[in-house]
Chain A
Amino acid sequence: MAVIIKDSECIACGSCLPACPFGAIELEDESAKIGDACTQCGACLDGICPVDAIEREAGDEKAPAADLDAYKGVWVLIEHFENKIRSVSLELLGQARLLAGKLGEEVAGVVIGHGVEDLASQVFAGGADKVYLADDPLLAHYSTDGFSNTLTDLIQTYHPNVILLGATNDGRDIGPRVACRIGTGLTADCTYLSIDEATKLVVWTRPAFGGNIMANILCPNSRPQMGTVRPNVFKRPEPDYRRGGETVRISCKLKPEDIRTKFISLQRVGEASCNLEEAEFIVSGGRGLGDPKYFDMIQELADALGGVVGASRAAVDSGWKPHLHQVGQTGKTVAPKVYIAVGISGAIQHLAGMSGSDTVIAINRDPDAPIFKKANYGIVGDFKEVLPRLIAQVKKIKGL
C-alpha cells in the first residue's frame, strides 16, 4: 500500500513536492524522496509525475485480522444529559439509518446510564431497530472507565460493524479508549459519511489542517469501524413514535473499583447564554471589535434576536470572551438559521465551525476579509455605526 518513488525513473524535477499536503516529499541529489510524514494519501499519484515514477506498491495488503463479515449492524452511542438525549445522537441515528440501509444491516442505539430506560422509545423513534440498554447505579454519571468497559463488553459480545459517536467532550473521551482496547481505527470529527460501493466500507470524511483540506479515511481490516461525528453537521430526522424495536438489557459487570475517577460535582457556566449548538441565531464578535466592551453591543443584538453570543478564536485568545463561546475548529461547531459575524476576518479555523449555518451575515471594515466569501449578505463598514441601527430595527420588528 505504501507510495513509492522509483529512483531509477525519477528525474528530480520537483513537480511532486507541492502536490503533497503533508510536505513529505523532499528533493535529494538525484531523485525525490518520500519522508516519514507520508500518510499514503496518494495525492502525488494521479498525473502529478511527468515520468510516472510515483506508484503505489502492490502486494503488501494486510490480511484482515478476523472474519470481518461476522460484524453486523450500525450502532450509535446515545449521549444524554439529565434524561435528555443530546441532539448529536439523534443526528447520528439519522446517518446510521442511511448507512445501514446501504449495507442491509440494522441500526442499534446504545444507552448507558442509570434510570435511562425511558429514553429507549426516543431512540426507536429516531431510527433504531434495537436498543442495548446498560442501566446501573455505577453508570449514573459519565466516567471513562465505567462507560468504556461497558461499551467494550457490548462490542465483544455483539460484534457491530460500525459505531458512530458524537464528537463531544465525552464522545471524544470514550471513543479512543474503546478503539484502542479493541485495536481498531477511530476517525475523529467527521463531517460526512458514506459507503464505498465496491468494498462496502464506511468512508469517513473529516477536515484536517484546521479545515484547510478534507480527508477520506477507511478502516479496512479491523472491526468495528468507529468514528466521532461533529454535532450540528447533520439534520435531526423527524421522530416517528410509531416505530418500536427490541430492547436488549445488559447486566452490568462493573465493580466500584473498576472506576478509577471520582465525579465530585458539576459547575454550570453561563448555561442559558451559551448553548451555541442549539441556537437559531448567533451573533459572534472577533478582534475587529477593537475592545471587549463592544461585546455588550453583540449581546444586545443577540438578545433582541433571541440568540446567543459567539466569539472568534482571536477574541477568545485575547481574553475578551471565555472559551465556551468560541466558534471554530477548536471551538464549537454551530448551525444556526442566521449567523452574524461582526469584526471577524474569517480565518479558515473559524469558517470550519460555522459553515453549516443557513444564512451568514458578515459585518467588517475590510472588504477583502475572507468571511465575505462565506457570507450570504455582507456589509463593509464600521460595526459601531451598523449595529446600533440593526439592533433598533430588530427591536422594532420584535416589538421590544
Chain B
Amino acid sequence: MNIIVCVKQVPDTTEVRIDPETNTLVRQGVPSIVNPFDLNALEAALQLRGKHGGKVSVISMGPPQAAEALKECLAMGADDVYLVSDRAFGGADTLATSYTLAAAVRKLGDYDLIICGKQAIDGDTAQVGPEMAEHLDIPQVTYVAGIEADGNTVRLKREHEEGYEIIETTLPAVLSVVKSINEPRLATIKGTIKASSAEIPVLTASDLGVDKDKTGLSGSPTQVKNIFTPEQRTQGEMIAGADAAECVEILMQRLIGSKLL
C-alpha cells in the first residue's frame, strides 16, 4: 500500500502570545513545528505500512525552511519526502494550496491513500484535504479516528456530533485524521541522524507543470482584508472569601441574585 501524507509546518500556536501593550502577536521565539494532527496522519500511514507493506511518502508545501518539518518526518520513518516550494505558491489560500498539492500527488503517482491531519493549527480551516480529493476526483472521509484496510477497501471510523460513523470506501481515497486515532511515535536516533544529512528534493511550479494563475495569491479566491486582535473581556469579580466555604457562600449569593440558579 503506497501512502502519501501531507504535512504543514506551522508556528506552535500554543506558544503564540498577545503583547498586552501593543495588542500585537508576539511571534519571536515561537518554534516552528510539524502541525500536530499531521503527525497523527504520518503515524497512521506508518502503521498501515507496517501491516500491509508498501511505502510512505510525505509532501509539504511551504517556504524553503519547511524542509526541517520534512526531516522530522524522515526521522519518524517516512520512506521519502518532497518539498513543494516556489515563489509562485506564496500567499495561497486553501483552493490554490489544494490545487498545487494535488499536482504534486499526481507527479508522485502510484498511490492508494492520501492521509492528512484534520486541520492545521494556524489556519484551522480543515479544507485542504477535501479540496485535494476534489481536484483528484477521488472519495474522501474526514475526521477519521480509526482505519482498517482490506484489499482495495478501507473501513473507517469517522467522528461525528452524535458519536462515530462507520464508513467504507474504495481506494484511492483521501482521509483526514483526528488526534485520537493514535499516538505518534518518536523519531529514532538512527532516523534523526539519517534525516539530518538528507537532501530534501524540491518540486517547483515548472516541475509540477501547474497553471500559475491557479497557484499562490492569483489562484486564491479569498483575500485577507485585514486582521485585528480580539477584544478581551473585562475582568470580573475575584471572590475574596476568607476560606473555601466563604467563597462558595458568596458565589452562591451572586448566582442566585442574578437568577442563574
Do the beta carbons of A377 and B140 come within 8 Å of each other?
no
Kindly state the interface size class of chain A when it binds its partner. 35 or more
The residues of B that contact A385 with a CB separation of less than 8 Å are 243-244
The verdict on A216 contacting B16 (CB below 8 Å), with A145-B139, A185-B95, A377-B237 known, is no
Pick from A145, A267, A360: contact of B236, CB under 8 Å = A360
- In the complex, the chain B residue whose C-beta lies closest to that of A36 is B90
The verdict on A186 contacting B222 (CB below 8 Å), with A38-B91, A175-B127, A177-B134 known, is yes
The verdict on A176 contacting B127 (CB below 8 Å), with A212-B16, A378-B238, A379-B251 known, is yes
Contact code string A325-356 (vs B, CB < 8 Å = 1, else 0)? 00001100000011000000001110000010
Do the beta carbons of A43 and B124 come within 8 Å of each other?
no
- In the complex, the chain B residue whose C-beta lies closest to that of A378 is B238
- In the complex, the chain A residue whose C-beta lies closest to that of B159 is A169
- In the complex, the chain B residue whose C-beta lies closest to that of A175 is B127
Interface 9-mer from A237-245, A290-298, A389-397? A389-397
* Chain A residues numbered 151-207 whose CB sits less than 8 Å from any CB in chain B: 168-170, 172-173, 175-177, 179-181, 183-189, 203, 207
The residues of B that contact A83 with a CB separation of less than 8 Å are none
The residues of A that contact B79 with a CB separation of less than 8 Å are none
A51 lies within 8 A of chain B by Cβ: no
Distance in Å: Cβ of B129 to nearest Cβ of chain A: 8
- In the complex, the chain B residue whose C-beta lies closest to that of A3 is B91
Do the beta carbons of B13 and A266 come within 8 Å of each other?
no
- In the complex, the chain B residue whose C-beta lies closest to that of A82 is B162
Chain A, interface SS category: mixed
Question: Complex: how many Å from CA A361 to CA B261?
Answer: 13
The residues of B that contact A42 with a CB separation of less than 8 Å are 224-226
Do the beta carbons of B247 and A379 come within 8 Å of each other?
yes
* Chain B residues numbered 166-225 whose CB sits less than 8 Å from any CB in chain A: 166-170, 173, 178-180, 217-218, 220-225
The verdict on A219 contacting B221 (CB below 8 Å), with A322-B180, A329-B124 known, is yes
* Chain A residues numbered 118-176 whose CB sits less than 8 Å from any CB in chain B: 144-145, 168-170, 172-173, 175-176
B160 lies within 8 A of chain A by Cβ: yes
A269 lies within 8 A of chain B by Cβ: yes
The residues of A that contact B93 with a CB separation of less than 8 Å are 185
Distance in Å: Cβ of A116 to nearest Cβ of chain B: 17
Do the beta carbons of B167 and A261 come within 8 Å of each other?
yes
The verdict on A377 contacting B124 (CB below 8 Å), with A209-B13, A210-B14 known, is no
The residues of B that contact A168 with a CB separation of less than 8 Å are 161
B residues bordering A, Cβ < 8 Å? 11, 13-14, 16-18, 22, 24-28, 62-63, 85, 87, 89-91, 93-95, 98, 119, 121-131, 133-135, 138-143, 155, 157-170, 173, 178-180, 217-218, 220-230, 232-233, 235-239, 241, 243-245, 247-249, 251-252, 254-256, 258, 260-261
A residues bordering B, Cβ < 8 Å? 1-2, 18-19, 21, 23, 35-43, 62, 81, 86, 144-145, 168-170, 172-173, 175-177, 179-181, 183-189, 203, 207-222, 260-271, 277, 317, 322-324, 329-330, 337-338, 347-349, 355, 359-361, 367, 372-382, 385-386, 389-390, 393-394, 397
Would you give 11 A-B contacts (Cβ < 8 Å), ordered by A? A41-B224, A169-B159, A176-B131, A181-B134, A189-B124, A215-B227, A220-B223, A266-B166, A349-B14, A379-B248, A397-B252
